[in-house]
A and B are shown apart, each in its own frame.
Chain A
Amino acid sequence: MNALRGWAVLLGAALLISMTACDSTDGDSASGAGKTLNVLVSANSIYPQQQKDWFTQVSSKFQQQTGAKVAFETFASPNDELTRIQTSVLAGQGPDVYSLGTTFTPTAYATKAFLELSADDWAKIGGRDKFLPATLGLSGPDAGHEVGVPFTSRPFVMAYNKEILAAAGIDKPADSWDGLLAEAKQLTKPGQYGLAVAYADGFDPWKFIWAMSVQAGNPLVAGGKAILTDPTTRMAYQTYLGWLATDKVVDPAAVGWKNAQAIAAFGAGKAAFLPMVSATSKVTLDKSTVAGKYAYALMPTIPPGATTVSANGKAASSILSGDNIVVAKYTKNKDLALELVKMLTSPEMQEIYYKTFGELPTNAQYAQTLQGDPALAAIVESSGKSVGTPFTGGWSQVQLALVNVVVQSIPNLSKGTVDDAALDKLLQTAQTTAQTALDKAK
Chain B
Amino acid sequence: MTKMHLTVGPFLVSILFGIAFTCSGATSGSADKSGLEALLVKPFVRAEFVKQRKLAILTKPFVTQGYILFDRDKGMVWKTTAPVNDTLLITETSIRQFDGEKQTVVSDRNPVMTSISDMFLTIMSLDKDKILSVYELQSSGSDKQMYRLLPRDKRMQSIISYIQLVGADRIQSIEIMEKSGDSTRIEITNERYERAQLTADDRALLEKL
> Do A and B come together as binding partners?
no
